[in-house]
Amino acid sequence: MSHDRYEMVVGLEVHVQLKTRTKAFCACSADFGAPPNVNTCPVCLALPGALPVLNEHAVELAVRAALGLGCKIDPVSVFARKNYFYPDLPKGYQISQFDRPLATGGWVVAGKTEKEAEIRIGITRLHMEEDAGKSIHDRYPGETAIDLNRAGVPLIEIVSEPDIRTSAGAGAYLRTLKQILQYLDVSDVSMEEGSLRVDANISARPPGQAKLGTKTEVKNMNSFSAVEKALEAEFARQCALLDSGKKVEQQTLLWDAAREAVRPSRTKEGSHDYRYFPEPDLRPLILDPKWIEQMRKELPELPDARKRRLATEYGLSPIEVEQLTAYPALAEYFEAVARASGDGKAAYNWVMGEVQAALRGSNEEISRFRVRPADLAQLLNLVRDGTISHTAAKRVFAQMVDTGKPAAQVAADEGLLQVGDETAIATWVDEVLEEHPEEARRYLAGEKKLQGVLVGFVMKKSKGRADPKRVNQLLSSRAR
């Protein structure tokens, strides 16, 4: 069946774990990966008489995220109890925010790719809440194990407007949102560790119709590509139902990655089914407007602003700035190299070439990379000043990665300082012409394109120390 008769309408709910040391309402560690149930206490286990105390740092991070997404912060927001039974929710309710959320009305501009035009996606609300624990179904055959380490970890939920019209648009929004949150340094945004989770609301309607169709919610997606695949599968299912005259039923669906299909989980409750009411153990969250403004002033430079600035300051192309700003630590490393060397293009070539290759080989993060920006800038300066050749520079870089020594020391230790001495270079040129008589004969007879080949032989013979400019000059003079 063709989908041309229907338009996809998507809104996304993104749960983001905040980068705090402790949980939202107690002093337990919020670290990922601890043995089951060790990061728990009477508060997150919901033992009688235990009372929550709000984590101030979680509030700061939530406000920073909201401001970075262009939201309006409500100086007074209210925590509520969202009541529902679930095996890994010990209290029988989740502390969240309902009718008085922390922030409303932001936006994300996404797209700008070959596949997708630029789109502006509204953000309905951003609110704070706590996470539930985790049910583990594959540890013990026939039984479900409960790990409550995650119970009470601080989250923000970012709810988008239904402004997304394609699966690729959903992917572009999520990648842009993740990048903004990385630059704001509010979360690790790792889907593998569960610190970023996505639920998708999707409906289908005839193009041009203003009224929304009946929506379903798809859960259990563990990557952005899974979100895109799940949306395509669910849209196809809804279109087939509508084409056959049936109705779409509002329900929650799970994405089955192995079968690349959706399957029902439960019928979806309306918000009234959760019996929300203000959390009696927590007072309203009141924020000083002056403090909010101070937080706004302290926001870091965000991806779009950094892209524009790098393009202007270093004369880089849109594709080059996209690559460099993929994540904050990479952009910062590049900029430190470019500033210290005064050469943005050379810094780009080395960072995206040798540096990225070395990082892939060792599987380490650039923030822990042994070659610091100042050391790489020194290497670039040695090449620019003619102290070492570009060929030798690659060997020097490899040694810098292995030893952590500065470029000048490695070049001196390895005997790679460039030789500009006419006699030494002339000797290497003569030896190369003798060792490669056929190429030498053709070159001297006027086959100019062989000059590059012969220069390569000389550079190899000199172990990268010959000054390529002098080599070219000497070969040219022999060919006359």
pLDDT tens by residue, 385-441 = 878 888 889 989 999 999 888 898 888 887 776 666 677 778 888 888 888 888 888
Q: Is the C-alpha dihedral spanning 327, 333, 334, 335 positive or negative?
A: positive
The predicted pLDDT at position 456 comes to 86
Distance CA 338, CA 342 (A): 5
> In terms of domains, do 276 and 346 share one?
no
Q: Pick from 410, 444, 463: which residue ends a domain?
A: 410
In a domain, 179, yes or no: yes
Q: Pick from 410, 432, 464: which residue ends a domain?
A: 410
For range 246-254, the mean pLDDT: 92
**4: pLDDT strictly greater than 60:** yes
> In terms of domains, do 232 and 194 share one?
yes
> In terms of domains, do 104 and 239 share one?
yes
In a domain, 208, yes or no: yes
Distance CA 360, CA 367 (A): 14
> In terms of domains, do 135 and 210 share one?
yes
In a domain, 415, yes or no: no
The predicted pLDDT at position 36 comes to 94
Amino acid at 454: L
What is the percent of the chain with per-residue pLDDT over 90, rounded to a whole number? 68
Domain count, the chain: 3
In a domain, 284, yes or no: yes
> In terms of domains, do 25 and 99 share one?
yes
In a domain, 131, yes or no: yes
User: Which of the four pLDDT bands, split at 50, 70 and 90, describes residue 116?
Assistant: low
In a domain, 343, yes or no: yes
For range 221-245, the mean pLDDT: 94
Structural domain that includes position 223: 7-292
> In terms of domains, do 405 and 428 share one?
no
Residue 410 sits at the vertex; the CA angle it makes with 405 and 411, to the nearest 5 degrees, is 150
> In terms of domains, do 115 and 164 share one?
yes
Lowest mean pLDDT: which of 7-16, 46-55, 138-147, 166-175?
138-147
In a domain, 111, yes or no: yes
> In terms of domains, do 148 and 104 share one?
yes
In a domain, 275, yes or no: yes
> In terms of domains, do 337 and 395 share one?
yes
Q: Pick from 410, 433, 453: which residue ends a domain?
A: 410
Q: What are phi and psi of 303, to 5 degrees?
A: -55, -50
**Complete DSSP assignment for 115-177:** SS--EEEEEEEEEEEE---EEEEEEETTEEEEE-TTTT-EEEEEEE-S-B-SHHHHHHHHHHH
The answer to whether 34 and 223 have CB atoms below 8 angstroms apart is: no
pTM > 0.75: yes or no: yes
Neighbours of 341 (CB within 10 A): 21
For range 327-338, the mean pLDDT: 96
Read off the pLDDT of residues 447-474 as tens digits, 9 standing for 90 and up: 788 888 888 888 887 777 777 777 888 7
The predicted pLDDT at position 142 comes to 87
For range 217-238, the mean pLDDT: 94
What is the percent of the chain with per-residue pLDDT over 70, rounded to a whole number? 95
> In terms of domains, do 428 and 279 share one?
no
Distance CA 480, CA 469 (A): 17
**35: pLDDT strictly greater than 80:** yes
The predicted pLDDT at position 268 comes to 47
